[in-house]
Amino acid sequence: MTTHQITRVRRETRRRLLTVTEVERITPGMQRIRFTSPELHDFVSGAPDDHIKLIFPEPATESGALPDASMRDYTPRAYDADRRMLTIDFFLHEAGPATAWARGAKRGDTLEIGGPRGSSVVTDDFDWYLLIGDETALPAIGRRVEELRPGVPVTTLVIIDEASEEQIFASSAVWNPLWVYRAGQHVDDAYLFQQALAAFTCPPGDGYIWIAAEARTARVVRRFVLDNFHHPKEWLKAAGYWSQGEVASHEKIED
């Protein structure tokens, strides 16, 4: 029996101190960092698009005052409970505390995290999946592709700067990756997404569509999908993972 349940699970927010064990540049613009800690013994991340708070200390002030902390939302890319190892992918974009920290990270460094506070758990019983996003969405997209059941069709539509930023995901699902490159095109991501989606035909059956990108872009893409695919709203999730001109923005997009 098909249920297509999407359940919101709440958890107690906890802070944990992690230690870097491995740093790997997986593409020119994406850095993968693996952390371990005994404090991860009860860590739970129930959905691929969960987010945790990474807490970065700011440089000390000239007056010697204790620095405040800057917090940013990141996706738990993978978690190995047996090894108590958490993997986080950092998109190295404009200057900021997260990018600066990730560029300089090395084995033995420590970082504090908080959460996740909850999960939006989607039952894996849809007939197909369409995952749409920019580079900031790749950790969540990669994790969902890897965790889907064997044989289910999943299409990923991702905008990146150039082919060198493509990633390969190991999955038992039937994965159809669609990559769109910005290089040489003087248009915004919303336009590129709409162009690509105009050429896409939804497979038969019930589908789940997930969108994450810059907030305005995600809102435009969500409206395009609803208007052109006539997709049920309850089987679609859209989020603004960042906002142009704003710092540390994360927004759930609804009507």
User: Phi then psi for 19, rounded to 5 degrees?
Assistant: -120, 135
Domain extent, residue 187, equals 124-253
Q: Does 65 score more than 80 pLDDT?
A: no
- Select the more confidently predicted residue: 36 or 244: 36
Report how many domains make up the chain: 2
Domain end point (choices 118, 145, 161): 118
Q: Which residues contact 224 (CB under 8 A, 6 or more apart)?
A: 193, 194, 197
Are 249 and 129 in the same domain? yes
pLDDT digits over 233-250, tens only? 999 999 999 987 565 556
Examine residue 1 and state whether it is found in any structural domain, yes or no. Answer: no
Are 245 and 139 in the same domain? yes
Are 73 and 152 in the same domain? no
The model's pTM: 0.93
pLDDT at position 61 is 56
The CATH number linked to 217 is 3.40.50.80
Name the one residue in this structure whose structure tokens are 């996706």.
Answer: 75
The CATH number linked to 84 is 2.40.30.10
Domain end point (choices 118, 134, 151): 118
Are 154 and 88 in the same domain? no
pLDDT digits over 71-108, tens only? 899 999 999 999 999 999 999 987 788 999 999 999 99
3-state secondary structure of 174: strand
Are 234 and 149 in the same domain? yes
* Arithmetic mean of pLDDT, 172-196: 94
Are 56 and 141 in the same domain? no
